[in-house]
Amino acid sequence: MALRISVIGTGYLGATHAACLAELGFEVLGMDIDPEKLAALAAGRVPMYEPGLSELLLKHVAGHEGSTGRLRFTDSTQEVAEFADVHFICTNTPQKKGEFAADMSYVDLAVDSLAPHLTRPALVVGKSTVPVGSASRLLDRLRSLAPAGDAVELAWNPEFLREGYAVGDTLHPDRLVVGVRPGGRAEELLREVYATLLDEGVPMVVTDFATAELVKAAANSFLATKISFINAMAEVCESAGADVTQLSKALSYDERIGGRFLQAGLGFGGGCLPKDIRAFMARAGELGADQALTFLREVDSINMRRRSRMVELAREQCGGGFLGRRVAVLGAAFKPNSDDIRDSPALNVAAQIQLQGAQVTVYDPKAMDNARKMFPSLSYAATPLEAVEGAHVVLHLTEWQEFRELDPSEVGALVAERRLLDGRNVLDADAWRAAGWTYRAMGRPS
């Protein structure tokens, strides 16, 4: 009989994972503690913006005309335990308040509420990003709480999906990483879950728990370092009067370096990279390996400096002060193709500028509702053209395609002053300048 699967925690990661497992042919039961999220998902609505996910939900959520009915949702861990053979844990692991470390309480609670219902052999698979050592601790916890005891197994299967491409990344990942204890059935069961992907040639790296946990931390640290590296180069370029976009283009031809994640700008944000590199530093400290990761502290500060630099540049463009000035902010999501505003550089900059006295109007194609909830005191516009009306400076802070397609003359007719700060270094500087704009970007000569 085919494996039945549960997904505990149906946020960005879990909702995508659940829908994709249904797409791969499994019967899936999604579980969450957020009743609104569950109601939306059960109605076939995606509670966040993720391209392709709503189509997949409607295709599989039970109760919809023409659906396969393979995907259902519940708030009961008992139902989950009775239903599934394999349980994926996809709960959040945010940064602890006032500390760098990860808050493991959501993962712990998920395990604690599932375990007492595990009366038969089961595999629990962690997908959340956790500090190294968690899997081993959680296995002990599971076995001590589960009636099935040692018949309960655990694997760690970190997730590398990118928001905005989550469905494609889940169905066609570049690799699968699986941390297991020797001797059990965990690897065999996960090979069954991912059989379609493995048949397509997706490589699977099977390791011990600690290595699997560390792969995720290392991958995020590398990506964050690459972004902060080019942003550090942007700082030097600014001081030296050089152009970081040409510098990164020239670097990108070197195959050892490559061009991806090498675009200078406002830096990274979101629900993963910032908190993950901090949690990694905190964990390394606990393990006595903090010296190995001191460079990540610098990666983090270079990144945060980008936000203050953008505020400084905007202040300069406003003539030295924000009082009585109107600032248009294009972008609120932490990156394009997503409505996720967790630690969004764009909103961080918008809020700082507003606190310093400007009237800030924000527009984003998808993240407006989330932004309004978190920053109700900012003004919001229904279109980019409405956002720029009467602006003394326009800030381009999230690189949505829609912003690249703006007509500089049309925008120019609406603003008070034709001043543009391109926080992502992707707009066509020549076209904007030709339309009479002062175009400035970080790491480039004015």
Ligand X SMILES: NC(=O)c1ccc[n+]([C@@H]2O[C@H](COP(=O)([O-])OP(=O)(O)OC[C@H]3O[C@@H](n4cnc5c(N)ncnc54)[C@H](O)[C@@H]3O)[C@@H](O)[C@H]2O)c1
Catalytic (active-site) positions: 272
Contact residue for ligand X among 5, 28, 37, 427 (CB under 6 A) = 37
Shorter beta-carbon distance to ligand X: residue 118 or 391: 118
Between 224 and 420, CB nearer to ligand X: 224
Strand duo 326-330 + 393-396: pairing: parallel
Cα 221 → chain centroid: 14
Instruction: Decide if residue 135 touches ligand X (CB under 6 A).
Output: no
Which of the ranges 106-114, 143-151, 181-189, 284-292 carries the binding residues for ligand X, by CB under 6 A? 106-114
Single-letter code of the amino acid located at 138: L
- Residues in 149-178 that interact with ligand X by CB under 6 A: 159, 161, 163
* Token representation of residue 428: 């066509």
Name the segment binding ligand X (CB under 6 A); options: 84-92, 141-149, 329-337, 403-411. 84-92
**231 near ligand X, rule: CB under 6 A:** no
297: enclosing H helix or E strand:
helix 294-317
Among 22, 61, 70, 92, binds ligand X (CB under 6 A): 92
For residue 344, state whether it binds ligand X (rule: CB under 6 A).
Answer: no
Distance CA 52, CA 19 (A): 10
Q: Is 273 in the site for ligand X (CB under 6 A)?
A: no
Which residue in the set 93, 134, 245, 317 belongs to the binding site for ligand X (CB under 6 A)?
93
Q: Which of 93, 112, 83 is nearest to 18 (CA)?
A: 83
34 sits near ligand X (criterion: CB under 6 A): yes
Side-chain half-sphere exposure of 65, counting CA atoms within 13 A: 0
**In angstroms, what is the minimal distance from the CB of 261 to ligand X?**
15
Nearest distance in Å: CB 424, ligand X: 20
What phi-psi label fits residue 194: left (phi over 0), alpha (psi between -120 and 50 degrees) or beta? alpha
Give the Cα separation of 142 and 123 in Å (integer): 10
Integer angstrom CA distances of residue 121 from 117, 118, 189, 425: 11, 7, 12, 53
By CB under 6 A, residue 145 contacts ligand X: no
Which residues, other chains included, contact 28 with Cβ-Cβ below 8 Å and sequence gap of 6+? 4, 5, 6, 7, 18, 21, 22, 60, 70, 71, 72
Angle 154-160-166 from CA coordinates, rounded to 5° = 115
Does 33 contact ligand X by CB under 6 A? yes
Region of 25-33, 49-57, 140-148, 435-443 interacting with ligand X (CB under 6 A): 25-33
Buried b (16+ CB within 10 A) or exposed e, 356-375: bebbbbbbbbbbbebbeeeb
How many Å separate Cα 421 from the centre of its chain? 25
Is 341 a binder of ligand X (CB under 6 A)? no
- Biggest CA–CA distance in the chain, Å, is 73
Q: Which residue is nearest to ligand X (CB)?
A: 11
Name the segment binding ligand X (CB under 6 A); options: 28-36, 230-238, 366-374, 393-401.
28-36
Q: Which is nearer to ligand X, 13 or 139 (CB)?
A: 13
Is 408 one of the binding residues for ligand X (CB under 6 A)? no
Sole binder of ligand X in the list 83, 106, 334, 363 (CB under 6 A)? 106
| CB nearer to ligand X: pick between 22 and 233 | 22
Tally of residues, the chain: 446
Residue 50 in the binding site for ligand X (CB under 6 A): no
Compute the least distance from the CB of residue 176 to ligand X, in Å.
Answer: 13
Query: Cα-Cα-Cα-Cα dihedral of 23, 272, 378, 423, to 10°?
Result: -100
Cβ-based nearer residue to ligand X, 221 or 354: 221
- Considering the complex, what minimum distance in angstroms separates the CB of residue 14 from ligand X? 6
The answer to the question of residue 80 lying near ligand X (CB under 6 A) is: no
**282 touching ligand X, by CB under 6 A:** no
Per rule CB under 6 A, is residue 109 in the interface with ligand X?
Answer: yes
User: Which residue ranges make up the site for ligand X (CB under 6 A)?
Assistant: 8-14, 31-34, 37, 90-93, 106, 109-110, 128-129, 159, 161, 163, 271-272
